[in-house]
Amino acid sequence: MKDLFPVFVNLSGKTVLLVGGGEVARQKLAALAPTGAHVVLVDPRAGEQVLSWGGEGSLSLARGVYSPELLAGVSLVFAATDDPAVNHRVAADAEARGIWANVVDDPAHCRFHTPSILRRGAFTVAVSSGGGFPGFTRALRRVLERLLPVEDDGALARLFSLRERLIASGAPAEERSRALKLLAQWFEWTYLKPGVEPQRQDGGWPEDFPDQSAAPWVKEYPPRWLN
């Protein structure tokens, strides 16, 4: 198999078909809920209680067995039944219509894979083994969970605001690029390597970083065009 191309997809307002129920369906629904997608779940054994699985997401239940007609207007498909023949049929029907399909625990029949996801406010970290070893990607995600801050102390929001001001400032491209690199370095040393003194580079650090109390070593280089 060729190398996979990682991409984040905007599913807001799109329809996703989820064929199959059970715990796998519950997990997929939990992952899809914050995306703004409308999920159609197909499972002849599913009852009304599954509608609560979607949380705050949009979810409807298609009663009966899977049929190709259910692919009309669909942007993405998950096949998660306990019958490989049904899953392969779903994938083949989707492929024939140019729709990407994921067959759970069957990488050979997947047009895309779902990674292990870690969300921290505006940050989303996705880790994938290409379907080869999902347990390893979950373990790696747990390592990342210990690195990234659980609660937003406001510093990251100020960092985003500073970046927007930098881009809109009209400052020379070289200065703007340098300041953006320093902002990224601030994040690295404040959140990923707390308590470790950084190596100074490029003559100093921006004076008005988002949170100087968290980084007392921030001293020099005031970008005047941010005032």
Kindly tell me if the per-residue pLDDT of 212 is higher than 60.
Answer: no
Q: Return the percent helix, strand and coil in the chain, to nearest 5.
A: 40, 15, 45
Q: Confidence band (pLDDT; 50, 70, 90) for 1?
A: low
Look at residue 6 and tell me if it is in a domain.
no
| Residue 138 shares a structural domain with residue 171 | no
Q: Are residues 134 and 99 in the same domain?
A: no
Do 195 and 212 fall within a single domain? yes
Residue 24 shares a structural domain with residue 103? yes
Residues 73 and 109 in one domain: yes
Q: How far is residue 121's CA from residue 124's CA, in Å, rounded to a whole number?
A: 8
Q: Which domain holds residue 59?
A: 15-114
Phi and psi at residue 104, to the nearest 5°: -60, 130
Same domain as 127, residue 103: no
209 — pLDDT class (breaks 50, 70, 90): very low
pLDDT at position 217, please?
31
What's the pTM? 0.70
Q: Is the pLDDT of residue 167 over 90?
A: no
Domain match, 129 and 169 both: no
User: Is residue 93 located within the same domain as residue 107?
Assistant: yes
Q: How many domains does the chain have?
A: 3
List the CATH number of the domain containing 35.
Answer: 3.40.50.720
